[in-house]
Chain A
Amino acid sequence: MHTFAELTIVFIVLLDLSLAVAGSLSYCIKLVALQGVVAGLLPLLAASGAPHARAVLFAAVIVGLKGAVFPWLLMRARDKSGARKDVEPLISYPASILLCLGAFVAASWLGSRLPLPETHVAWIVPASLATIFTGFLLITTRSKAISQVLGYLVIENGIYIFGLALFVEQPMMVELAILLDVFVAVFVMGIAIFHISREFDHIDTAELSELNDWRRGEYGK
């Protein structure tokens, strides 16, 4: 019944893996957008029978935001920042993909241990957890601020899929709230990245540590 949905899950996991090794920023943005669109369509595929009009509308909003608005905002931020066009990872790509695979193994184990209700679609919980881990991986091991936004979006995709696993029919309220947060966050981050790059000529988060107020010289005063 859910073969198509299960194939989609596999596709999402494959997207996670390719995100771990993708080196070009614009390629990463496109991958994240694609993952968002696929995840947005998932409830339509997983639902049994004809989908509700509300679900269709909802999927359309998600696909529109994640497939068009976010990539556009991010591409714009990438172009305006004038920075190098690769993700500048802090660890090597092989290490990234190994970590991503490890995360998938851990997610499979965790998925079997979590006390969750029976799900219709196989592998949906491990896949969602793996997506969340991949998002964290992107956030923690890439130095550009845009990568952090991308990681954040990947985490959101993961949470969305996880929500689907729990309530296949009714993820709407939860998702609506999260989506609003994400929209605002991406918007703010897009502006912030733009301003940071204008002020500092780079968007490398490591350099931002200069802004902290903990100075050795001031100790004890």
Chain B
Amino acid sequence: MLLVLLSFVILLASAVAALCLGGRPSRAQDAGAYGAVAASIAGLIPSVQTLLSGRTETLSLPWPVPLGSFSLTLDPLSAFFLVPVFTLTALSAVYGVDYLKAYSGRKPLGLVWAAFNTLTAAMALVFTSSNAVLFMLGWELMAAASFILVLFEHEKAQTRKAAFIYLAAGGAGALLLMAVFALLGSGSATLDFSSFHSPSRAAASAVFLLALCGFGLKAGFIPLHVWLPEAHPAAPSQVSAVMSGVMIKTGIYGIIRILGFLRPWEEWWGWALLIIGAGSCVLGALFALAQHELKRVLAYSSIENIGIILLAAGLGVIGVTRGAPELAALAFAGALLHVFNHSLFKGLLFMGAGSVLHGAGTAELEALGGLSKRMRASAVFFLAGSAAACALPPFNGLAGEFLIYAGALRGINFPASVALAGVAAGLVLAVAGVLAAAAFVRAGGTVFLGEPRSERAAGAHESGPLMLFAMGALALLCLVSGLAAPFLLGPLAFAVSSGFGPLYGFTAGIQGAAPLVYVSAGGLLLLAMAAIAAAKRKVFLRGKKPAEGVTWDCGYAVPTARMQYGASSFSQPLTDFFQPILRKIGQYPVISEYFPGKASFSREAQAVFYNELYAPAAFRIRELAYRFSWLQHGRLQIYIMYIVVTLMGLLLWKL
């Protein structure tokens, strides 16, 4: 526990140091990065210890804030979320040193590092605090720090809009959370988590709904996601990695914690989580397929993965309320394992996108291509991350989803409603998996394969050694945690126990072991086959010189890069099918002559929920507010009159 505290101190001290050294960018970079790495190591040690031993540690310091206490608790659930936080922070910091070098002198790097380290400290505080006031402090600090990072390229109007939406979403979420804690803590002297007691049925449902919306605004599931695809791509890439990899998981953590305070659960909570998760994962994958910018593809993929986690949690809640503990245990274990795995591969993918942005100067899919020849290592790492994101063995994306599938299939042995939930969850996962695979084939293929579609892509260069090291480490972790998934079950069982109840943790440990061993065995087999194939190729090619040709020349004698399939054309069959949902706008050329002249083609993905739901709603509110603009005339005297009249009214009313 003291090491966690030490980690806080290092993070905050290095943040201050980086801010003070802002005038000398390379010094600021050093202070920020060394601080982040040292703090991460200090934080990882107790987290891993807690996960291995299953013990809970607490620390309480005096803190003279009303209703507050400086109480930290490191239980296996917290530790399970802290491990990815510290892992990703350390590697992102290493990555960031190379990545931000290009901005030296143009951007206040001291501020960036200060915000980055504060963000990590805030996340660690959110995951460990066991007092609502302290929790909200960490929560708001997290929002503020990430807001600064989202504003990194504030000279772009789009970034400012993204930051504003992000701020608004964060504020709304925090407001709802205060209501949650007020309801939970009513009647007790402090807002310590340990003093919370489950409210009555109706109030418990209200708490659940408020928490779902409040934490949902941070987790970013559909339809509360509008800020996510705007804000995540706007931040520097290593920050996008942290935000998408671990920061949105604070929402998931919050929902799990609140569920822990509310006993017994209602079945419809499970259905709510299941339906929201299902919608989120299918639509998230679908929108990812329609995006034209690499980081936006990844942001929508995060929405999809949050959906998967929520879906599994919903399935588990249904299992618990319907008396199906094995199903619940597998679903909960799958949800948590996917939290861990997603943070690794999404961090890797965002760093890969950052390398593309760094090397080619753009992340627009239609301007890229052929980067695997120019950025070989980055391409391999991105491929590994993509394979994990598509839940392909031997990488780690599969393990969590496999546990969820295994749980969903158990549902068939139970009464109709549980069976329905299981089958629905399985089907939705399969559909989302297919769409996600299509999205990543499209993104990876367009960026790394074929020929460059622009001069910038043709002149792309490989990233620096620190960036490659960070990506390589994450790719290796993705591979190892995929193969070693059965060994993760012990810590996972502890985390499930402390998050959902001891019964489910124990069951998860037993039930999850068998299927995961098969997954790992299959992964190893696949690796062995790949190794054999590579060896065979080497043997066949010994002493021969293989010919080289262009990719995708489609039978043309003199192909040009413009003849390749683009990102739009690759996904067109699918996106046309889902046009009623995607609502892409654009124009097709209509060819009516034998020798057509110049033609142009454009397709643009829409932010459907923002345009169709939030913008009209905001417009209505503004319109309504405008009706009262006669109150807002700018005359000081009348404003004071309002105050006097209000005060007099209150006085007379109370008399």
Contacts and interface: CB of A to CB of B under 8 A. Distances in A.
Chain A interface category by residue count: 20 to 34
A57 interface: no
B194 interface: no
B6 interface: no
Contacts of A142: 637
B655 A113 contact: yes
Nearest to B652: A110
Contacts of A214: 629, 632, 634
B645 to A, nearest CB: 10
B139 to A, nearest CB: 31
A140 B644 contact: yes
Interface string B624-654: 0010010011111110110010000001000
B644 A136 contact: yes
Contacts of B619: 220
A143 interface: yes
Interface string B420-438: 0000000000000000000
Interface in A13-30: none
A214 to B, nearest CB: 6
Interface stretch (A64-72, A161-169, A178-186, A201-209): A201-209
B629 A90 contact: no
A139 interface: yes
Contacts of B635: 205-206, 209
Given A219-B626, A220-B622, A209 B633 contact: yes
Contacts of B644: 136, 140
Contacts of B637: 90, 139-143, 148, 205
Nearest to A114: B655
Identify the interface centre among A114, A136, A141, A210: most chain B CB within 10 Å of its CB: A136
A31 to B, nearest CB: 20
Contacts of A136: 640-641, 644
Contacts of B641: 136, 140
Contacts of A110: 651, 655
Chain A interface, DSSP helix/strand/loop, else mixed: helix
Interface in A101-146: 110, 113-114, 136, 139-143
Given A136-B640, A140-B641, A209 B634 contact: yes
Interface in A23-65: none
Nearest to A205: B636
Contact of B640 (A139, A208, A212): A139
Contact of A208 (B629, B632, B634, B655): B634
Identify the interface centre among A140, A206, A211: most chain B CB within 10 Å of its CB: A140
Contacts of A140: 637-638, 640-641, 644
Contacts of B626: 219
B192 to A, nearest CB: 34
A136 B639 CA distance: 11
Given A113-B655, A114-B655, A136-B644, A208 B622 contact: no
A205 B640 CA distance: 12
B626 to A, nearest CB: 6
A90 B638 CA distance: 11
Nearest to A206: B635
B191 to A, nearest CB: 30
B632 to A, nearest CB: 6
A114 B648 CA distance: 13
Interface in A140-175: 140-143, 148
Contacts of A141: 637
A152 to B, nearest CB: 10
A210 B633 CA distance: 10
A208 B635 CA distance: 8
B71 to A, nearest CB: 35
A148 B655 CA distance: 29
Contacts of A90: 637
A139 B633 CA distance: 17
A195 B619 CA distance: 38
Contacts of B634: 208-212, 214
A64 B389 CA distance: 76
Contacts of A114: 655
Contacts of A220: 619, 622
A114 B644 CA distance: 18
Nearest to B638: A140
A209 B639 CA distance: 12
B344 to A, nearest CB: 43
B620 to A, nearest CB: 11
Contacts of A211: 634
A148 B632 CA distance: 19
Contacts of B633: 209
A110 B640 CA distance: 21
A158 to B, nearest CB: 13
A76 B435 CA distance: 75
Contacts of B638: 140
A188 B472 CA distance: 60
A52 B626 CA distance: 58
A219 B655 CA distance: 43
A140 B638 CA distance: 6
A1 to B, nearest CB: 31
Contacts of B651: 110
B125 to A, nearest CB: 36
B618 to A, nearest CB: 10
Contacts of B636: 148, 205, 208
Nearest to B634: A209
A208 B638 CA distance: 13
B553 to A, nearest CB: 49
Identify the interface centre among B635, B638, B651, B655: most chain A CB within 10 Å of its CB: B635
A214 B644 CA distance: 24
A4 to B, nearest CB: 31
A29 to B, nearest CB: 19
A214 B634 CA distance: 9
A90 B640 CA distance: 14
A137 to B, nearest CB: 9
A148 B643 CA distance: 14
Nearest to A129: B651
Nearest to B647: A136
B76 to A, nearest CB: 51
A208 B633 CA distance: 11
A140 B655 CA distance: 25
B275 to A, nearest CB: 35
A208 B639 CA distance: 13
A133 to B, nearest CB: 9
A49 to B, nearest CB: 35
Nearest to A214: B632
Contacts of B632: 212, 214
Contacts of A210: 634
A110 B636 CA distance: 27
Contacts of A139: 637, 640
A148 to B, nearest CB: 7
A139 B645 CA distance: 13
Interface in A77-120: 90, 110, 113-114
6 contacts: A136-B641, A141-B637, A148-B636, A209-B635, A214-B632, A219-B626
Given A148-B636, A219-B626, A220-B622, 10 more contacts: A110-B651, A114-B655, A136-B644, A139-B637, A148-B637, A148-B640, A209-B633, A209-B634, A209-B635, A211-B634
Across the A-B interface, give the 6 residue pairs with the lowest CB-CB distance, nearest first: A209-B634, A212-B634, A205-B636, A140-B637, A140-B641, A136-B644
Interface of A: 90, 110, 113-114, 136, 139-143, 148, 205-206, 208-212, 214, 219-220
Interface of B: 619, 622, 626, 629, 632-638, 640-641, 644, 651, 655
